[in-house]
Amino acid sequence: MRLIYYPLIFIAVFLPLIEKPRLAFPEEEAVRPKIHLNLEQAVDLAFRNNRTLMFSGDSVQISQYGLESAKSEFEIQPVPTGGIAYDSEAGGLQQNYGMDVTKKLKEGTIVGTGLTTSISSTQKASDLNFSITQPLLRGFGRSIVTNSLVDAERSTVTTQRFYELTKEGLAVDVIRQYYEIIKQQKIFEINETALKREKIVLESAKARLAVGLASRLDVSRAEIQVQQAEESLINAKQNLGNVQDSFKVLLNLPVNADLELVPEIDYPPLGVVESEAIATSMNYRLDLIEASDQIWDTKRDLKVAKNNILPGLDLVLGYTLSGAGDTVGSSFDLKDSGILIGFQTSATNLNRKRERASYKTAQINVVSRQRAYNLLVDTIIREVRDGIRTLENRYKNIPIQKKALDEAKSGLDVANERYKRNLADNFDIVNAETSLLRAEVGHITAITDYIVEHVRFRKTVGTLTEKPEILLRRHEL
């Protein structure tokens, strides 16, 4: 009985912990979503789903909050005041309550008003103040006062421009990977067809060997071709899967989804005029427009730096109405008044070395930004010219590859016919098959390369995506 007892305990304790095997029924398998896209749908989906573009969109939103913060400097600023303390000499509590309201104008003027009520055990008093403060030296002028606001406005435009540039780069990536999938799909199909042809050649060689019309070398040669075709097909399938997965990640799609793309391989005509392309790029390249505005920014900074050298001197005007009484209500009988006219200065280091150094730095920045702008102009012109040359080469390569494809097809037909008539062995067929495979791949590659290069060229001249009009405006220098 003891020999049976311990095994029973083992079964009772550990059997529930052992995972039971489950049969995989079709209805329990994970559903693989099927996604069918054309090129326009793919680009639109990337604009909505791509995570890198979302990060750029976050920067745009953050800059909007920064603009709201900068605008608040010129809004009405209500500030409640108050306090309570015990005064032993007065023998009671001292209370102060009030509200100050100020508004800064874009010319630098600060207008303010305030009402204060003081309550003690002996007296209640109220003051109504009106004040105007106007900077006369440092901080004088609309362009100086609003500089931080303009900085915030420029920041929003800059982030929007970089967002659009990110969209353009994303569009190029989407289109490039789209056509890479089309190309790899076509290469996969070409290799499938090639494998079928090689198997037919192999069977033919075996049949001819059986009747003495072929040698063992013919069969061996055909077997090697079949093996190479199978290996090429495996590699083509792997390459297709790799580019499809990369494309899914780019569009933020499920990686396990079955992806089907519409094979849009119609390519546009060349039709590019160098002078027109360069002129278009000068007007539509957002990075160039931004570089121009950055020159304008440095000139603003130069003006502010020059103003900061001046000492702080403000004109102050004030008018006060006062009242006092035994009750809070009677203290609002404002019978007394007073006028204040004066000047005030802020603490100023008279040597102004730091401010003068900032001014000299701002002068250098203006020259540096202008130099960077000129360099970018030359770079864009070079990119346009280089893009035209590349585009022309891609375009001319298409009929060359088409001619090579036609010749390869004709060569295979001739090789097959000579082989059937026992005028040659299958060595000519093997060479013709290889030539046809290369020609088919070369032809589809030439077409997709031209289409992608045409898209890149549109990005180079700045016309790939439609841009908001406000981003194309530049400040006058």
Q: What is the pLDDT of residue 95?
A: 85
Mean pLDDT across 307-319: 92
- H-state helical runs in 274-422: 274-284, 286-308, 328-331, 353-420
Structural domain spans, the chain: 35-75+146-310+351-472, 80-145+313-347
The HSE-up count of residue 297 (CA atoms within 13 Å, CB side) is 20
Task: Select from 64, 32, 29, 9 the least CA-distant residue to 256.
Answer: 32
Q: Flag whether pLDDT at 13 surpasses 60.
A: no
In 3-state terms the chain splits into helix, strand, coil percentages (rounded to 5) of: 65, 15, 20
Report how far apart, in Å, the C-alpha atoms of 412 and of each of 58, 193, 249, 426 are.
Answer: 58, 14, 41, 11
Residue 17 pLDDT > 70, yes or no? no
100 forms beta bridges with 79, 114
Q: Which of 106, 88, 89, 104 is nearest to 147 (CA)?
A: 106
CATH number of 35-75+146-310+351-472, picked from 3.40.50.300, 3.30.43.10, 1.20.1600.10, 3.40.50.2300 = 1.20.1600.10
What would the pLDDT profile of 207-230 be if each residue is shown by its tens digit?
888 888 888 888 898 899 899 999
Q: What is the pLDDT of residues 396-454, one digit of tens each?
A: 999 999 999 999 999 989 988 887 888 777 778 888 888 998 999 999 999 999 999 99
Of the pLDDT bands very low, low, confident and very high (cuts 50, 70, 90), residue 90 is low
Confidence of residue 333 (pLDDT cuts 50, 70, 90): confident
Write down the pLDDT at residue 20: 44
Residue 348 to residue 310: CA distance in whole angstroms: 9
pLDDT band at 18 (very low <50, low <70, confident <90, very high): very low
pTM, 2 dp: 0.82
Structure confidence by residue, pLDDT tens digits, 22-32: 434 344 445 67
How confident is the model over 342-395, as pLDDT tens digits? 999 876 677 788 999 999 999 999 999 999 999 999 999 999 999 999 999 999
What pLDDT digit, counting tens, does each position of 272-286 carry?
A: 999 999 999 999 999
The string of pLDDT tens digits covering residues 446-456 is 999 999 999 99
Mean pLDDT, all residues of the chain = 88
Let me know: does 116 contact 321? Beta carbons within 8 Å. Answer: no
Q: Is the dihedral of CA 341, 346, 350, 354 positive or negative?
A: negative
